């Protein structure tokens, strides 16, 4: 946002030529380069001394088609003769026009309701993350047993930028100074991908971008909502949850400033403007005087119920061409309560029963309809070592067979990422993603035996996804009711302060670095 403001100050005119080419999301398109991420050309034009008190207008044009079509259009382009769409003119607004029109613009932005968002953790190396705790211990043991500094640096996987084995991180010893007897830091849960709880070391020396404020805010009550704030949303839930610190690519294998905590710190300071809660409470009490106070938890639940518990992504697909979710906010206190309770159940479900705002919440238990006819003994070799039969509702996992897997659970995807297939891919001998192709000997230390807790977790995952699909119809009806009724517009809500948008100060009493 600061860069956009600077550009609007220093330029007289801004032109954005959007060439698309996003091949990581749910709607792939041919790119002008042999890369996966979309491409744009931004021209900042300054004619003389700019008036820094007035923001420059940003003009936008989208070019679609094949690579040849796009290059041809660029060759023939004359800026003065093009038809340009005009982007919003606020100092911090994106340089793209808002899709969806006035109604969409009137919905409060998610970034205003829950103002602190930031990227997840980036390791820039794959070996410190695994679904197996014992595997992480073996990798650590091999790393510290390397007496040759060059081998240790190579195994550590030193990036061109960021920390290396000689980097001093607060009061922790340098990786280069460790001995074969050096114990690892605590192994903790880590949100690696949506619905996939893995493990990592609670060790800032191993991360490239640690996101220390997220680690400092983690607690038995914390919930991290993750969505796509910078890329277009595809079909499926528009947000997912993690009780552990999420990875940068958590949502669907690609990342941005997408992690939205419920609390700003481990003490429970809420990531929501108190003035917003007071205003909503006063507004709802005009219609229902006996209504309870609107809380940060109820707003969080309302938002999650809409994003993850309805057909939000499909219904607003055109509007979401402009990245950044917006939330239709009902003026009806009874409807707000219904949607919040819908979201509360999803929060309980998507955190595997670890978080709940409902004291009467039932115990998290997988129904008997999902059962192992034969639990796996060996780890599947690769993705070809498992198969699904929709007719029989059976999932073959190596030498194991899981029964009662409904097709809707198998097909469940988060913006193009098929959840069960992705989950299984990380639990193969070959591995998935970069870990499958790296030559790093630490990455090649992988589990050879199927772990008993994976059998439990896979059953839980199938249940969670199947139950989520069942909840969507109720969510669609609730969203219909919201859109058919009176809404609270964005300009009726207080704008969050810059302090609330800023990551909270980090104070660690142990070895984790303050940044």
Interval 180-239: pLDDT, tens: 999 999 999 999 999 999 999 999 999 877 688 999 999 999 999 999 988 888 889 999
Q: How far apart are CA 219 and CA 225, in angstroms?
A: 14
Q: How far apart are CA 105 and CA 468, in angstroms?
A: 29
**pLDDT for the residue 3:** 87
Of 369, 362, 346, nearest to 474 by C-alpha is 346
What is the DSSP pairing of strand 57-62 with strand 13-20?
Answer: parallel
Give Cβ neighbours of residue 20 (< 8 Å, ≥ 6 apart).
Answer: 29, 31, 38, 39, 62, 63, 64, 70
Q: What pLDDT digit, counting tens, does each position of 282-298 carry?
A: 999 999 999 999 999 99
DSSP one-letter string for 206-225: G-SB--HHHHHH--TT--EE
When computed from its CA atoms, the radius of gyration of the chain, rounded to whole angstroms, is 24
Of 53, 54, 55, 73, nearest to 63 by C-alpha is 73
Q: What value does the mean pLDDT of the chain take?
A: 91
Q: In 15-166, where does DSSP find H-type helix?
A: 67-76, 101-106, 110-113, 133-145, 149-156
Q: Which two tokens stand for residue 187?
A: 């192994």
Collapsed DSSP state (helix, strand, coil) of residue 196: strand
Query: From the centroid of its chain, how far is CA 285?
Result: 35
What percentage of the chain exceeds 90 in pLDDT? 69
| Cβ atoms 348, 355 nearer than 8 A | yes
Of 405, 393, 341, nearest to 367 by C-alpha is 405
Burial of 154 (0-12, 13-18, 19+ CB in 10 A): middle
What percentage of the chain exceeds 70 in pLDDT? 95
CA distance to 255, 400, 442, per residue, from 126 (Å): 16, 27, 9
In this predicted structure, the answer to whether residue 245 has a pLDDT above a threshold of 80 is yes
Cα distance between the two ends of the chain: 21
Tell me what the mean pLDDT of segment 159-165 comes to: 79
Rounded to 10 degrees, what is the CA torsion of 339, 345, 349, 350?
30
**pLDDT for the residue 513:** 39
Q: How far apart are CA 215 and CA 204, in angstroms?
A: 10
Q: How far apart are CA 100 and CA 98, in angstroms?
A: 6
Q: How far apart are CA 467 and CA 461, in angstroms?
A: 10
The residue written with tokens 């003119």 in the block is: 89
Q: How far apart are CA 418 and CA 391, in angstroms?
A: 19
The residue written with tokens 């100060």 in the block is: 505
Tell me what the mean pLDDT of segment 450-474 comes to: 97
Residue 169, strand partner residues: 172
In this predicted structure, the answer to whether residue 36 has a pLDDT above a threshold of 90 is no
Of 306, 360, 330, 285, nearest to 474 by C-alpha is 306
Q: What pLDDT digit, counting tens, does each position of 51-82 carry?
A: 788 898 898 888 888 999 899 989 988 888 76
In this predicted structure, the answer to whether residue 50 has a pLDDT above a threshold of 80 is no
Collapsed DSSP state (helix, strand, coil) of residue 307: helix
Go through 80-103 and write b for each residue having 16 or more CB atoms within 10 A of its CB, e for each that does not: eeeeeeebbeeeebbbbbbbbeee
Tell me what the mean pLDDT of segment 382-411 comes to: 96
- Which of 25 and 5 is assigned the larger pLDDT? 5
**pTM exceeding the 0.85 threshold for the entire prediction:** no
Q: Where are the beta strands (DSSP E) in 252-300?
A: 259-261
Burial of 474 (0-12, 13-18, 19+ CB in 10 A): middle
Collapsed DSSP state (helix, strand, coil) of residue 252: coil
Q: How far apart are CA 307 and CA 471, in angstroms?
A: 12
Helix 296-308, helix 452-484: angle, nearest 10? 90
């Amino acid at each position: 946002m600061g860069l956009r403001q600077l550009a609007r100050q220093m330029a007289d005119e801004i032109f954005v030529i959007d060439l698309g080419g996003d091949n990581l999301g749910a709607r792939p398109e041919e790119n002008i380069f042999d890369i996966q991420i979309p491409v744009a050309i931004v021209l900042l034009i300054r004619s003389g001394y700019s008036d820094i008190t007035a923001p420059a207008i940003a003009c936008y044009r989208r070019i679609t088609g094949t690579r040849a079509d796009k290059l041809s259009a660029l060759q023939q382009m004359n800026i003065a003769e093009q038809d340009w769409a005009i982007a919003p003119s606020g100092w911090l607004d994106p340089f793209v026009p808002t899709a969806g029109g006035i109604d969409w613009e009137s919905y409060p932005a998610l970034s205003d309701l829950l103002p602190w968002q930031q990227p997840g953790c980036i390791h820039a190396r794959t070996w410190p993350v695994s679904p197996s705790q014992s595997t992480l211990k073996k990798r650590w043991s091999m790393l510290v047993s390397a007496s040759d500094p060059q081998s240790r640096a190579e195994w550590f996987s030193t990036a061109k930028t960021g920390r290396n084995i000689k980097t001093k991180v607060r009061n922790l010893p340098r990786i280069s100074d460790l001995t074969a007897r050096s114990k690892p830091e605590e192994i903790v849960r880590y949100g690696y991908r949506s619905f996939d709880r893995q493990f990592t070391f609670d060790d800032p020396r191993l991360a490239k971008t640690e996101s220390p404020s997220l680690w400092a805010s983690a607690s038995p009550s914390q919930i991290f909502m993750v969505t796509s704030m910078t890329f277009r949303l595809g079909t499926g839930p528009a947000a997912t949850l993690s009780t552990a610190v999420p990875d940068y690519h958590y949502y669907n294998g690609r990342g941005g400033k997408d992690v939205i905590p419920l609390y700003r710190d481990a003490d429970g300071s809420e990531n929501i403007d108190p003035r917003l809660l007071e205003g909503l409470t006063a507004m709802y009490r005009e219609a229902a005087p006996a209504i309870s106070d609107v809380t940060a938890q109820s707003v969080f639940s309302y938002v999650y119920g809409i994003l993850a518990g309805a057909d939000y992504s499909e219904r607003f697909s055109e509007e979401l061409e402009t990245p950044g979710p917006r939330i239709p906010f009902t003026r009806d206190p009874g409807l707000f309560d219904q949607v919040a309770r819908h979201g509360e159940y999803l929060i309980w479900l998507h955190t595997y029963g670890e978080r709940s705002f409902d004291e009467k919440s039932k115990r998290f238990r997988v129904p008997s309809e999902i059962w192992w006819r034969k639990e796996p003994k060996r780890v599947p070799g690769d993705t070809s070592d498992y198969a699904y039969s929709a007719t029989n509702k059976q999932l073959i996992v190596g030498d194991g067979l899981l029964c009662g897997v409904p097709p809707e659970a198998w097909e469940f995807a988060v913006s193009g990422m098929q959840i069960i297939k992705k989950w299984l891919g990380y639990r193969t001998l070959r591995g998935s993603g970069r870990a499958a192709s790296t030559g790093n000997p630490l990455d090649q230390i992988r589990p050879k035996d199927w772990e008993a807790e994976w059998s439990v977790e896979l059953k839980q995952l199938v249940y969670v996804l199947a139950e989520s699909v069942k909840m969507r119809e109720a969510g669609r009806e609730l969203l219909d009711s919201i859109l058919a009724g009176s809404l609270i517009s964005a300009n009726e809500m207080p704008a969050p302060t810059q302090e609330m948008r800023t990551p909270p100060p980090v104070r660690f009493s142990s070895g984790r670095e303050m940044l």
